[in-house]
Chain A
Amino acid sequence: MSAAAATAAASYSLVRQPAMETGLLEVSMGPHHPSTHGVFRMDVRLDGETVVALKPVFGYLHRNHEKLAEGMSYLASMPFTDRLDYFNSMTNNWAYALAAEQLLPIEVPERAQYLRVIMAELTRLVNHTSLVGFFLNDLGALGTPLLYAFRERERILDLFEQASGARMMCNYFRFGGLRCDVPEGWLARARAVVDAFPRFLDEFEKLLCENEIVLARTQRVGVLSGAQAVNAGITGPMLRASGVNYDLRKVDRYGIYERFAFRVPLGSAGDCYDRFMIRLLEMRESLKILDAALRDIPTGPVMGNAPRVFKPAASETYGRVESPKGELGFYLIADGTTKPYRYRVRPPSFINLTVLEDLCVGHTIADAVVILGSVDIVLGEVDR
């Protein structure tokens, strides 16, 4: 033990500033902190309880996804897109399939279009229920909302397992349609799950939306103004919670979304409570889409006339989808071979994370955890 360390240990004292002044406390809410949704670290400088500075540190889950894709065929990197945002494998697949179909135009049959919308909206339900459950868990509600949310998520994951064979890593979409059709009886089971879902939403809203403690802990916490959100490139429910009307399903009208009548909920204050409520309301809109899609889905093939070997001509494209976390985009450069020259993913939760410091400064450390919960990040997508 060097002399310096000995004296430091000997004169160890908590309080560095004289008298009433308390020093700045450096805290690193480490990669494996119980409430950071995966391996994500926040270096927070505290003055007493309030956050003075916050530096998000991530990269612990970086798997070199984009460089890997350059060495494999187009189809081979489809299963890897499941691992991006491991809560919504279907929407990840769809974004990649959409981008690839722009490289080599393949006509997608009607039934596949309907099934794509159904799968995407079911994933949105899964993501928003889990998010609301985790958010309440950060607030301290000891597991009850989370377990109610997971009870519903289990039913939808069973549907995914029956359709694609796996609960979370579905790898179900292909360029030009879907890998296989849903087994018979699946649509009836899906109809049953969709009909039972509003009961869960009412129960959830009755349990939490007027709860005074939730109101006190989330309102006016982590306020993000509309202009600031647009400036930072925020997309998805976080942007709509700040009052900006931007939903890719309405803007791009990709897939067959223009056939379904659904509305886009908009927040006013842009604080944690709005982000929490927007996701609850979006679930109700998704239920409307699912009702309509399940009602008039036609029969027929689910796979278009995709070529045997996917070898697009030299070109570049950017396909994007409204994933539950925001605008998930795939930027592909094809050079005429079977392997993409460049494969870039626009991860919505990574970009939504950039404003974390502006939201947290001035709040207490307990609020910083709640704000992180409301931003809804998944480290698979943040680190790629």
Chain B
Amino acid sequence: MTQTLLNLLAIAVPLAVGFASLFAFTTWLERKILARIQNRIGPNRISLPFTRFRRLFGLIQPAADGLKMLAKEDIVPRDADKLLHLLAPILSLVPPMMVLCLLPLELPYATAGMRALQAAALDNAVLLFFAITSLNTLAVFMAGWASRNKYSLLGGMRAVAQMVSYEIPLVLSAAVVIMAAGGMNAQAIVEAQRAQWFIFTPWGLAAFLIFFIASLAETNRSPFDLPEAESEIIAGYFTEYSGFKFALFFLGEYLAIFAVSGLAVTLFLGGGAGPWVAAYPALSCVWFLAKIFALIFVMIWLRGTLPRLRVDQLMGFAWKFLLPLSLLNLFVAAAALKLAKPWLSWPVGALVLYGAAVALSRSHRADAAPRTYSYAE
């Protein structure tokens, strides 16, 4: 009994510590990349106290932010629901933490016995992944409700509606991969992609794009960051949070980003596969994290470029564009796998999907096009 407990600890603790420190690194990465996109330099002032190091490129900035969050006063509104107000940030943190251990991340030192918790044992890892991430919606609602603030409740309801309506395209696009790999076991999916990553098949690419867009909405990132829309009245569900609870929400959001992009890597980008993995098996963990950070770079890049969608456009986009497209993708993938003749099914599949996407986007705002202007002398 103690051996299994030790195994569990040997897996869980490094994951928790590793990804929490990666969270700190990602906040720095995000501020630096956003700065470079906007012709600035980003944080570069913090230096280690009592040392001569002056130019540390701001790497100590996350530690400084964390310290600041700890020092900030933790204000709880007078008639807030004390218990739920405390529970919400914790509940927003637990599911992503739990889900991280489902990812097929071969820790370099993990022996066969210790990999019980990795995806190998759980044969429906993907389903459990979606089940646990749906708890996030609860945490958002609890935060919105417990703050007893009209705006945070409306912001919370908006965020819940957004997460619920983007969960369906997320699951459907994952279903395509499950169908192709023949099982929900993350390890089996990675094995199935040994010959060819799923992203390189037309229906795989479409599923990846839908999955990526839906995961953006699921974690309230870039074009879908409605809750923190400071330009509107509703300042989002974590208005009444300050101090370390606020930092917990951010930790939860970033871990959710790691989890969702980790799943995207497993489903579409061949998990830990990469060059020289055969020679050094420990390298697969590095490749896995590298791919996750590639996806995170794209997320930050989107955040630096795109304006925000309005609520009704956001919902319309989910229900009228992503959902039908992912359903169609399911059929196309089924047909392609059944026919199993790539030279025929690929071009046809690509054509059908592209045609459907154009038709759908044309049917909505056909007139939304850049205009030409007349001039008067």
A contacts, CB < 8 Å to B: 9, 14, 25, 27, 29, 34-35, 44, 49, 136-144, 147-148, 151, 207, 209-217, 219, 245, 250, 263-269, 273-274, 277-278, 281, 364-367, 369
Contacts and interface: CB of A to CB of B under 8 A. Distances in A.
A138 B230 CA distance: 9
A277 B371 contact: yes
B73 interface: no
Interface in B278-331: 303-313
5 contacts: A35-B230, A139-B307, A144-B304, A148-B38, A211-B306
The 6 A-B pairs with the shortest beta carbon distances in the complex, nearest first, are: A140-B308, A139-B307, A263-B375, A141-B307, A147-B38, A245-B376
B371 A217 contact: no
Contacts of B303: 142
Interface size class of B (residues with CB under 8 A): 35 or more
A140 B307 contact: yes
Interface string B349-377: 00000000000000001011111011111
Interface of B: 34, 37-40, 79, 150, 153, 223, 225, 229-233, 303-313, 365, 367-371, 373-377
Given A141-B306, A147-B38, A216-B310, 6 more contacts: A14-B150, A136-B307, A138-B231, A140-B231, A264-B375, A266-B375
B260 to A, nearest CB: 21
Contacts of B375: 263-266
B112 to A, nearest CB: 47
B243 to A, nearest CB: 22
A188 to B, nearest CB: 25
B231 A268 contact: no
A48 B307 CA distance: 23
A260 to B, nearest CB: 12
* Residue of A136, A144, A274, A369 ringed by the most chain B CB atoms within 10 A: A144
A273 B372 CA distance: 12
Contacts of B367: 219
Contact of A215 (B39, B225, B365): B365
B232 A366 contact: yes
A264 to B, nearest CB: 5
B377 A263 contact: yes
A286 to B, nearest CB: 14
A242 to B, nearest CB: 13
A268 B373 CA distance: 8
A201 to B, nearest CB: 14
A369 B231 contact: yes
Contact of B309 (A142, A216, A266, A278): A216
A76 B11 CA distance: 76
B304 A142 contact: yes
Contact of A144 (B37, B223, B229, B373): B37
Contacts of A29: 233
A215 B370 contact: yes
B307 A266 contact: no
Given A14-B150, A27-B233, A207-B305, A219 B376 contact: no
Contacts of A219: 365, 367-368
Given A34-B231, A141-B307, A366-B229, A14 B153 contact: yes
Contacts of B40: 147
A180 B303 CA distance: 46
Given A141-B306, A142-B34, A366-B311, A266 B373 contact: yes
Given A216-B313, A277-B373, A366-B232, A211 B307 contact: yes
Contacts of A367: 310
B308 A267 contact: no
A263 B377 CA distance: 5
Contacts of B369: 215
A213 B377 contact: no
A49 B311 contact: yes
Contacts of B308: 139-141, 213, 217
B368 A212 contact: yes
Nearest to A143: B38
A107 to B, nearest CB: 30
A278 B37 CA distance: 26
A178 to B, nearest CB: 30
Nearest to A138: B231
Nearest to A285: B375
A144 to B, nearest CB: 5
A217 B230 contact: no
B373 A213 contact: no
B231 A364 contact: no
Contacts of A364: 310-312
Contacts of B309: 213, 216-217
Contacts of B230: 34-35
Given A29-B233, A217-B313, A144 B305 contact: yes
A281 B376 contact: no
A137 B39 CA distance: 16
Contacts of B37: 144
Contacts of B233: 27, 29, 44, 365
Nearest to A28: B233
A277 B373 CA distance: 9
A367 B365 CA distance: 17
Nearest to A265: B373
B223 A213 contact: yes
A210 B374 contact: no
B32 to A, nearest CB: 15
A367 B312 CA distance: 12
A266 B232 contact: no
Contacts of A209: 370
Nearest to B316: A216
A210 B312 CA distance: 21
A190 B194 CA distance: 60
Nearest to A264: B376
Contact of B374 (A215, A266, A277, A366): A266
Contacts of A268: 371, 373-374
